[in-house]
Amino acid sequence: MAYFKGFEQSQAVRGIFGDKTEEVLRNLKVDFTWFGYMGVNDANGHMMVNRNYLNNGDKTDIYLDVVHELCHVKQHLEGKPLFDQDYDYVDRPTEVEAYRYAVQEAKRLGLSDQQILRYLQTEWMSDEDLKRLVNNMGIDLQTDEKK
């Protein structure tokens, strides 16, 4: 998995996989796509990465996305369904956990609450959804300072 060389050194990634970090990263398959940002294929556990985003996206965003997606890889390995439609996106336990890892890492990197909120709010997420997600994560972020 040459694309994410060095990720085994990341404390966040080690926090997800522990002693299995090297093994998981070695076996992780990446499929390149031409849509979206990143995801994990629930059928085979492969990571899907938009090559255009990888080449042109913000490096910090990409790093945090990788942390998020690696959390989904862990969930997949544990046999959890990644896309449980019984939940809205911002309430889905697998998403909340993945976002929590990414946000903890963003805080460790020194991003401000505002920067983190900007990172979290994708184009399909309303302000209300964002607040719900932050609330679900149980992480202290000042949502009122936004804008």
User: Between residue 98 and residue 117, which ones bind Zn ion under the rule CB under 5 A?
Assistant: 98
Is residue 70 a contact point for Zn ion (CB under 5 A)?
no
Q: Closest CB to Zn ion among 87 and 145?
A: 87
User: Pick from 58, 61, 36, 55: which is nearest to 47 by CA?
Assistant: 36
How far apart are the C-alpha atoms of 136 and 48, rounded to whole Å? Answer: 26
Task: Kindly tell me which of 62 and 98 has the beta carbon lying closer to Zn ion.
Answer: 98
CB contact set of 66 (below 8 Å; sequence gap of 6+): 4, 7, 38
Nearest approach in angstroms of CB 38 to Zn ion is 9
Question: Which residues of the shown chain bind Zn ion in the complex (CB under 5 A)?
Answer: 95, 98
